Amino acid sequence: MDSSKDGKAEMLFLPWILARGHMIPVIDTARVFAAHGAKVTIITTPGYAQLFQKSIERDQSLLGHHDISFHTFKLPTAEVGLPEGCENLLSTALDRDMSEKLFSAISKLEKPIEQLLRERRPDCLVSDMFYPWTADVCAQLGIPRIVFHVTGLFPLCCEESVRRYAPHEKVNYDTETFALPGLPDDNIKFNKLKLPYWFKTKGTGWGQLLDIFLEAELKSYGIIINSFYDLEPTYAEHYKNEMGRKLWLVGPVYLFNKAAEEKADRGEKNSIDGGTVLSWLDTKKPNSVIYVSFGSQVRMAPKQFLEIAHGLEASGCPFIWVARDLSKSNEEDKEKREGGEGENGDKMLPDGFEERMTKSGHGLIVRSWAPQLLILEHVAVGGFMTHCGWNSTIEGIGAGIPMITWPLAAEQFFIESLVTDVLKTGIRVENEEWVSLHWEPKVTVTREKVEKAVKWLIGGDGGDQVVEMRRRAREMAEKAKKAMDYGGSSDAAVIALINELKSRQSVCE
């Protein structure tokens, strides 16, 4: 290891640049480690470096001058037939052919990144799971590879249960329920419809890729998770003892963003000014607004948008709805989009819906990126309808907001179970079927289900059950903040890892 670091632990962070949901928590985590005295370098593309540059410059200028910077590699998009600037899945509109070309482009960075590791010889590489080749490179160079998972412990433990015991193979039909064996809780039940397809169809490309990720993980030094001990205590012990992984829980890292400007600008330029949103919320009563957002990658069928709109309007509850699919990037559909139509001319909103919501002040529709942290923290927001992506879930937990869960893809049905069955801080909207982001979207939740869930959580139908749910949510939010505060469990985990890396320096010199 390089002995010219003035006693600092040098950490390189390699986030998965194709997905914003992978980038944002890694950037926050890197900033946390730099704030604790590590020398941090984030490996990314020039476009992403520019997007997050303001936050990094702010950290560099703080008292103590955090030692954090970017090392950029230009993604060779032209070599694989992609236009300039197309460097994440959002810019491909999830087109399968373009996505495969992006994967090809990123594979061309293997040699340059390997050369950087050989030159720098850092004390560790914190790598997203999507770079399994770094496990062998780090092993050859004697560099600890630490995997950064952009999900929680509970879904990881659920996935391991399905892999080990294959309980879905012991049922006779798709809707028959089965328990997930070997978990600390014995009430975690699923059916085949809610499982990702790669568990049910052997030999799929994605399933084989996940096996490669897992093999690389088992070769690695340990795992960093954006979670905190009090959120998943039994699963932390299960993960370490039963699954045999070295583990550091360092979150919720989004809480590192303290200033309103940091919260407003985090991850992307907003399509609506944060002040406008907060002013609108200031006119609403406490716990009276439902915030609806399905993340940065989810696609929905036009008719599903209609069902959501009808359900929200019928609920009678104020709402903020981040309706990203209303703003497709394809210019040739501009006129249709402005008329509230989908790519095929399908109506995405009821006639006059947006005008009625705007005039009455009943609803606020955001067509792209929203200042989610500011929204969730506002006293008027009483619930979060979410796709159960981990970033959104941990932000909702940290804000103390009960959730209406609407999982769609990836590990989201497992995360739904954490919220509804373990934490008991949310209710299901009753989406019953897992769907890949690359499949043709379809209607899976009716307007009646949307209306019922919103009325139950926000409109008063849930009565004392909602009061108790809010109490549990607030209690968990306090635990999240304590974990990140000085002396908290996540704070201690960050310090412990830095000290462990520093102790290795003297051994390796």
Residue-wise pLDDT tens digits, 261-311: 787 777 666 557 778 899 999 999 999 999 999 987 777 888 999 999 999
pLDDT of res. 507 = 64
pLDDT band (50, 70, 90) for residue 332: very low
CA distances from 412 to 8, 158, 294, 433, 483 (A): 38, 11, 11, 11, 24
Residue-wise pLDDT tens digits, 188-223: 999 999 999 999 887 777 788 899 999 999 999 999
Spatial CB neighbours of 63, under 8 Å, sequence gap ≥ 6:
none
Domain 268-481: CATH architecture, name and number where available: 3-Layer(aba) Sandwich (3.40)
Percent share of the chain, pLDDT over 90 = 70
Q: What is the CA radius of gyration of the chain?
A: 23
pTM of the model: 0.92
pLDDT of res. 451 = 98
Task: Compute the average pLDDT of residues 101-125.
Answer: 92
d(CA 145, CA 220): 5
Residue-wise pLDDT tens digits, 72-106: 998 888 888 877 767 665 555 456 677 778 888 88
**Is pLDDT above 90 for 439?**
no
What is the three-class DSSP state of 341? strand
pLDDT of res. 112 = 95
Task: Compute the average pLDDT of residues 360-381.
Answer: 92
Residue-wise pLDDT tens digits, 387-396: 999 999 999 9
Q: In what order do the strands lie in the sheet with 222-225?
A: 68-72, 39-44, 10-14, 124-128, 145-149, 222-225, 247-249
Contact, 494 vs 250, CB < 8 A? yes
Percent share of the chain, pLDDT over 70 = 90
pLDDT of res. 334 = 40
Specify the DSSP class assigned to residue 9.
Answer: P
Phi and psi at 436, nearest 5°, equal: -65, 150
**Residue written as token pair 């000014």:** 273
Phi-psi region of 189 (alpha: psi -120 to 50; beta: other; left: phi over 0): beta
pLDDT band (50, 70, 90) for residue 118: very high
pLDDT band (50, 70, 90) for residue 475: very high
Phi-psi region of 410 (alpha: psi -120 to 50; beta: other; left: phi over 0): left
**Is pLDDT above 70 for 148?**
yes
Spatial CB neighbours of 271, under 8 Å, sequence gap ≥ 6:
327, 366, 367, 368, 369, 370
Helices (H), 36-68: 46-61
Give yes or no for a cis peptide into 252 (omega within 30° of 0).
yes
| Cβ neighbours around 287 below 10 Å, total | 17
Spatial CB neighbours of 339, under 8 Å, sequence gap ≥ 6:
none
26 or 436, which is more confident: 26
User: Which residue type occupies 150?
Assistant: V
**Is pLDDT above 90 for 237?**
yes
pLDDT of res. 430 = 95
**Is pLDDT above 70 for 481?**
yes
**Is pLDDT above 50 for 329?**
no
**Is pLDDT above 70 for 372?**
yes
Which one, of 24, 143, 115, lies nearest residue 394 by Cα? Answer: 24
**Is pLDDT above 90 for 259?**
no
- 284: tokens are 């609403």
Which one, of 67, 36, 148, lies nearest residue 486 by Cα? Answer: 36
d(CA 230, CA 489): 8
pLDDT of res. 336 = 43
- Average pLDDT of every residue of the chain: 89
**Residue written as token pair 């819906």:** 353
pLDDT of res. 509 = 55
Q: Interior CA angle at 162 toward 156 and 167, to 5°? A: 150
Mind giving me the DSSP string for 364-415? EEE-S---HHHHHHSTTEEEEEE---HHHHHHHHHHT--EEE---STTHHHH
d(CA 339, CA 356): 15
Question: Which range, 44-48, 435-439, 453-457, is most confident?
Answer: 453-457
Task: Compute the average pLDDT of residues 38-65.
Answer: 89
Q: Interior CA angle at 246 toward 241 and 247, to 5°? A: 100
Catalytic amino acids?
A: 22, 128
